[in-house]
Chain A
């Protein structure tokens, strides 16, 4: 069945460091891929998405590219800030779009 596997955390980085959170997926057909972020005490917020192969989603300095050949959607940011501390979830929805499949989440802490 459809599933998402993402890099386990927690991840701790210094401010201005480079961030990569790996995400790979298993799906039939052509799913859409998403990154959601969950700040402490808040609900999930959409960070970025990509709906077809080679698309790049970007928002708030974060980027991820839909790579069908490697079934990956890795999240990157060139220079993290303390305010980026949160839990990041990779997710997919199959081309039927009926539900989301989430990864287990990666906790990021950025220290000054």
Chain B
């Protein structure tokens, strides 16, 4: 069973550095989502792709954040010039668009700590 995988699982960086996270969705899923989760809160939507097209971005996604899904398979989320406020768990989810509402399947997350 190959679910959603994310790498790395943990990342510690210094303020001002750039970081990049990778998400590999379930293979036949055409939608991929990024969320951010801070301690004691539920996940907050950041952006999503359908195939390689980025269709929606939250206002939470500042200019320092960029996400790509170049071949419609894996995706990367890059944060430039990290700030302490970026410390959070970054979650990836994937789904298969079809008839009715689709279920999103989540990866284990990448926990980022900015010092």
Contacts and interface: CB of A to CB of B under 8 A. Distances in A.
Interface residues of A, number: 24
Given A43-B109, A98-B55, A104 B42 contact: yes
Given A43-B107, A49-B103, A99-B48, 9 more contacts: A43-B4, A43-B106, A45-B106, A46-B103, A46-B104, A91-B42, A102-B42, A103-B42, A104-B41
B65 interface: no
Interface in A29-87: 32, 34, 36, 42-46, 49, 51
A101 B4 CA distance: 20
Interface of B: 4, 33, 35, 40-45, 48, 55-56, 91, 93, 97, 100-109
Contact of A51 (B101, B105, B109): B101
Contacts of B4: 43
Nearest to B97: A97
A26 to B, nearest CB: 15
Contact of B43 (A46, A51, A100): A100
A1 to B, nearest CB: 12
Given A43-B109, A44-B91, A100 B41 contact: no
Interface residues of chain B: helix, strand, loop or mixed (majority): loop
Interface residues of chain A: helix, strand, loop or mixed (majority): strand
A17 B48 CA distance: 40
Nearest to B3: A43
A97 B45 contact: no
A24 interface: no
B45 A99 contact: yes
A14 interface: no
B45 A93 contact: no
B62 to A, nearest CB: 18
Nearest to A34: B103
Nearest to A9: B40
Among B48, B97, B103, B105, max chain A CB count under 10 A is at B103
